[in-house]
Structure 1
Amino acid sequence: MNTPFRSKTSLVALAVVATIGLGALGFFSYQAMTVVPATPIAPPPTRVTTEGGLTIVTLDETTQTISGIQSEPITASSHPVEHLAYGSVLDVQGLNDLSTRYAMAQADSAAAQSAASASGQEYERNLALFKANQSVSMKVLQASQVTWNTDKTKLQAASANIQSIRNSALQQFGAPLAGMLGAPDAALLHRLLSREDMLLRIVLPLGVDVAAPELIAVESSEHHRETAQLISVSPQVDASTEGRAYLYRAAAILPIGSKVVAYLPLPTSTRPRLLIPEAAILWFAGQPWTYVQIAKDRFTRRPVADQTPYDNGYLVSAGFESGDRVVVRGAQLLLSEEQRPPITASSCKDPECDD
């Protein structure tokens, strides 16, 4: 008879348990929805700093190895004091044409000389016979004389043509080269026409009291020096330049019309200067720079001012010291790191933090 009572008691107990369970679920749901304060994130280490007016790029040794950054020391050495001059590589096609014309004119002159000699001898023989016994008629004598006179005229014309060609060569290329036309042993002329040597016109600026040296160094756009030897004063100059022009020869293959820089040794003592290798040169904002490693993990960029191109590099006399380590690999990477905008760290990773 207690069954209805027990059933009612069980229902009440279930109701209490359900109420407690719902309360617990609500509590934990509330805890889950509560915003938990984010743990602050440490900002990344700053790689670019400014100290004493210098911009310093800091890279640990591991990063340097991975990036392939390498440096090497520079040392002072004695180099002769030089004066700069400028010039260009001349086209020798005109000289080749003159040489060909001269050879043809020589052949014509030799033929005319032979003809004049033969006709002259014929005339002298006819004249002797005519005077001796009248065995040669006046008509034959006169005909031989006309032939001789014609051959002499041709010889004179051939000689004049040779002189005209020589004069053209003198006006364009100077006396030494003009004198080599037609010579069987003109080794220099042969080397120039076969492009074994290049013909250069170097212009010494006005106001510079320097005699043209016998030997100079010339440099093309590849920054590689070649020795050039003086030939003569140049009878022609470039209309765009002013100064004394000289012809030089250089055993190098250079493009016709290309510009060259000439280095004229001055009659003064040498002075110590530093050679910055070309691999260390970085062009930025229109001027050359190089990165110097001032510590194991610190680099700074310096301008390469007051420089003189020399043997795949630049000679400098200021701004650097012997023993400075310049970056020869990875300079562009350092510049990119230096120019990179600063990274700002956020205090949390949730996108809602940006609101």
Structure 2
Amino acid sequence: MKTRIQILRAVLALSVMATGPAWSAAASGGVTLSGAQQKTLGVKTEPLAAGQHKAQVDAFAKVLDPGPLAQLNSDLLTAVAAAEASRAEAVRAKTLATTGGALARKDQEAAEAQAKSDALKVEILRQRLGLEWGPGVARMSEARRQALVSALSKGVAALVHVDTPSNAGQAGARTVKIDVSADTSVGGVVLGPARAAEPRLQSSGLIVEVTGPSAILLSVGLTQSAHIDTGSPKSGVVIKKESVVRYQGSLWAYVRHGDAQFERRLLQDELPEDGGYFVAKGFAPGEQVAVSGVAGLFAADLAAGQAR
């Protein structure tokens, strides 16, 4: 439906060009439209807001199977419950042993041995958390880890193994962006270093937790490009996706000058952001950029260029 509306507006753009002048203020292209023409095409603009973008190191991300973690967590919770029960039994047996008798002492020794055995099982399972999932997961409280497993099972969280050649950018990393499509990425929080290395990249890797509705897009085994946030952030603006047109292999947006002039301007060195693209140059905060009717603007722009 949206595509059909865009086509209709583009057709309208070709017709409104016959009722008003065309303008080009730069080699990149542009058009002049009256207020009535803009209304016909549904053109609306919004001021660009200042933003920041952290320097990034390109990485590779592979979505991990949460099944082994869920099983290990279940085993640990079961072992903890058994250890608490056997510890309580050992305390009761010790109390009974104070009454004397060989049988009571024998029961005490058996209960204490069982309590030690169960406590050892808990310790081993906790060590396995660190050995298999890294210190970040091992440090979690039982409640936090159980909440993570629950979120993983519901598809509102995903665990991702992120690698870079020779561990570049991994030291001190806190956040990672993972590409889920050509122009969309999701953010994740670094839980800590991984314990299973990626030998082809000579990378020890990071365990990253992604949460939110987009986590369902990260299916187990999926491999995607990623970006580790590092260093000082860059200043610039974010151009919304609905403002952008793709033309001749590049991305463009329309900047309004005055009431009627629209300049088609190139996005330079754009970086994907949630809902758009970050650019550090070529655009300034406060500039009015078209956010709707862009397809009609583009059609009018091309028609004006052919008429010149």
For the aligned pair, the TM-score class normalised by the smaller chain equals: 0.5 to 0.7
**Match 1:187 to one of 131, 137, 143:** 143
1:280 partnered with 2:254: no
User: Partner of 1:130 in structure 2?
Assistant: none
% identical equivalent positions: 19
1:325 partnered with 2:274: no
Shift of 1:191: 2.0
User: Partner of 1:257 in structure 2?
Assistant: 218
Shift of 1:285: 5.1
Task: Evaluate the alpha carbon distance shift between residue 174 and residue 283 of structure 1 in structure 2; reply closer, same or farther with a 3 A threshold.
Answer: same
After superposition, residues 189-228 of structure 1 pair within 5 angstroms as: 189-195=145-151, 198=157, 200-201=159-160, 203=162, 205-206=164-165, 208=168, 211-213=171-173, 215-216=174-175, 218=177, 221=180, 223=184, 228=189
Superimposed CA distance per residue, residues 201-255 of structure 1 (whole angstroms, 9 cap, x where no aligned partner): 3635336356223x43646648576573x43211125678663422244553412
Superimposed CA distance per residue, residues 118-176 of structure 1 (whole angstroms, 9 cap, x where no aligned partner): 7xx8xx9659xxxxxxxxxxxxxxxxx9x999999988886775565445433321234
User: Partner of 2:299 in structure 1?
Assistant: 336
User: Partner of 2:275 in structure 1?
Assistant: 312
Task: Evaluate the alpha carbon distance shift between residue 52 and residue 161 of structure 1 in structure 2; reply closer, same or farther with a 3 A threshold.
Answer: closer
Shift of 1:44: 4.9
After superposition, residues 224-303 of structure 1 pair within 5 angstroms as: 228=189, 230-237=190-197, 243-249=203-209, 251-253=211-213, 254-255=215-216, 257=218, 261-262=226-227, 264-266=229-231, 268=232, 271-284=234-247, 287-294=250-257, 296-303=259-266
User: Partner of 1:69 in structure 2?
Assistant: 43
Query: What amino acid is aligned across from residue 142 of structure 2 in structure 1?
Result: A
Does the residue aligned with 2:216 lie in a helix, a strand or coil? coil
CA distance in 2, matches of 1:283, 1:54: 13
Superimposed CA distance per residue, residues 40-89 of structure 1 (whole angstroms, 9 cap, x where no aligned partner): xxx957866777633333433211112111123335x4636422454455
Greater RCO (Cα-Cα under 8 Å, separation 6 or more): 2
**Match 1:97 to one of 50, 71, 84:** 71
Does the residue aligned with 2:218 lie in a helix, a strand or coil? coil
Task: Evaluate the alpha carbon distance shift between residue 321 and residue 343 of structure 1 in structure 2; reply closer, same or farther with a 3 A threshold.
Answer: closer
Which is worse superposed, 277-286 or 152-161? Answer: 152-161
CA contact (8 A) 2:52 2:235 kept: yes
User: Partner of 1:173 in structure 2?
Assistant: 133
CA contact (8 A) 2:45 2:292 kept: yes
TM-score (structure 2 length as normaliser): 0.64
Query: What amino acid is aligned across from residue 293 of structure 1 in structure 2?
Result: R
Pairs aligned (count): 276
Q: Please list every run of 5 or more consecutive structure 2 residues that lacks an aligned counterpart in the other structure.
A: 1-16
CA contact (8 A) 1:293 1:325 kept: yes
TM-score (structure 1 length as normaliser): 0.57
User: Partner of 2:52 in structure 1?
Assistant: 79
Q: Which of 1 and 2 has greater Rg?
A: 1
Shift of 1:261: 4.4
RMSD over aligned Cα atoms: 4.8
Superimposed CA distance per residue, residues 311-341 of structure 1 (whole angstroms, 9 cap, x where no aligned partner): 5332212233455432111111222334569
